[in-house]
Amino acid sequence: MRRLPFYLGLSFFLVIVAFPFYWQIVTSAKTSDEIWAMPPVWIPVQGLETGDVPIDAQGGTIRGPQFLTNYTNVFLKQPFGRYLLNSTIVSGSTTLFCLLVGAMAAFALAKLRFRGKNLVLALVLSVSMFPPVAIAPSLFLFLSQFRLVDTYMGLILPYTTFALPLALWNLTAFFRQVPSELLESARVDGAGYFITFWKVFLPLVAPGMFTTGILTFICAWNEFLFALFFTTTEEMRTVPVGIALFSGQYESPWGEIAAATVIVTLPLIVLVLAAQKRIVAGLTAGAVKG
């Protein structure tokens, strides 16, 4: 009984957090009539009924639950597969670039002695504090001069303006937790800084690298403003921009939009669940000395 208030509060909190996900999944399974029904439909009865589900642009159908129509229309009416490919390429490239550059910079800031280390970290923090909408116009002019608008590189470079500071700050904290005596021992054995970084320090901060990579990938995957500014053709749109432009001529296809968000969210959920142990290990690395 003493723990009852705690569990009640925890249950209430979980309901609040999980309700948007539940509602999005339910909306993706509703027909148009159920979406606009009043009072709201909590269980999509019509969506679960069997009917003709389109499977190709030529009018082919199969028998199945009606809610699958929303999911198939996402790919039939929109180049959603292209959106997914674009987001994967841009987010993956941004993550790899930020981990490579951020790890080397973090090693230098955490373990090497040189003037201006604190100034560099302060500059990195100040760059990350700029609102994206304030720098987007100037970045657009810069990319236009180098003909990078509507290209993968034209998205990867701006994405690093907010992803690299995040990676650098996280990795600097992880590198600081590695004993400095390892650097001195490697130097005594004749190893250079790069060999020391690559063979000694990098394996020790692998959980932190994995955690930082997951966070960076999610930030790049969900980025909307830069992708909207720097893409002008449908072939180069990323998933957030593509979903935002799903709207039809007379009404918004809310069922298809909900289905698209479910499709986009599932890979991130699977990735986080599969890497849960590594993420927790990275977040708690160095929490206890000894």
Residue 39, preceding peptide bond in cis (omega within 30° of 0): yes
pLDDT value of residue 131: 81
When divided into structural domains, the chain yields a total of 2
Q: Rounded to an integer, what distance in angstroms lies between the CA atom of residue 123 and that of residue 213?
A: 22
Q: Which helix (H) or strand (E) holds 260?
A: helix 254-274
Q: Are 144 and 23 found together in one domain?
A: no
Cβ–Cβ under 8 Å, residues 169 and 101: no
Give a yes or no: residue 221 inside a domain: yes
Q: Are 84 and 182 found together in one domain?
A: yes
How wide is the angle at C-alpha 209 spanned by C-alphas 211 and 167, nearest 5°?
A: 80
Q: Are 55 and 98 found together in one domain?
A: no
Cβ–Cβ under 8 Å, residues 220 and 163: yes
Give a yes or no: residue 288 inside a domain: no
Q: Are 171 and 207 found together in one domain?
A: yes
Q: Rounded to an integer, what distance in angstroms lies between the CA atom of residue 102 and that of residue 124?
A: 11
Q: Rounded to an integer, what distance in angstroms lies between the CA atom of residue 139 and that of residue 190?
A: 44
Tokens of 241: 């921009």
pLDDT value of residue 89: 94
Q: Are 172 and 256 found together in one domain?
A: yes
Distances (CA, A) of 178 to 148, 189, 210, 289: 40, 18, 16, 11
pLDDT value of residue 283: 56
Residue among 66, 49, 75, 94 at smallest CA distance from 213: 94
pLDDT value of residue 91: 92
pLDDT value of residue 248: 61
Exposed/middle/buried for residue 191 (C-beta within 10 Å: 0-12, 13-18, 19+): middle
pLDDT value of residue 290: 44
Q: Are 9 and 108 found together in one domain?
A: no
Q: 273: alpha, beta or left, given left = phi > 0 and alpha = psi -120 to 50? A: alpha
Exposed/middle/buried for residue 167 (C-beta within 10 Å: 0-12, 13-18, 19+): buried
Find the distance separating the first CA and the last CA of the chain, reported in whole Å. 38
Q: Are 199 and 132 found together in one domain?
A: yes
Q: Are 136 and 180 found together in one domain?
A: yes
Distances (CA, A) of 87 to 131, 162, 207, 214, 227: 22, 16, 25, 15, 10
Q: What count of other Cβ atoms lies within 10 Å of the Cβ of residue 8?
A: 10
Give a yes or no: residue 290 inside a domain: no
Give a yes or no: residue 123 inside a domain: yes
pLDDT value of residue 281: 59
Domain housing 27:
4-76
pLDDT tens over the chain, length 290 residues:
788 888 898 999 999 988 988 888 898 888 888 888 888 888 888 878 787 787 777 777 788 888 888 888 888 888 888 999 999 999 999 999 999 998 998 888 888 887 777 788 778 777 777 788 888 888 888 889 988 888 999 999 989 888 888 888 888 888 888 888 888 888 877 878 788 888 888 888 888 888 888 889 988 998 898 999 898 888 899 999 988 888 765 667 888 888 899 988 887 788 777 766 666 655 555 554 54
Where does 55-210 show beta strands of DSSP type E? Answer: 61-65
Q: What count of other Cβ atoms lies within 10 Å of the Cβ of residue 182?
A: 14
Give a yes or no: residue 153 inside a domain: yes
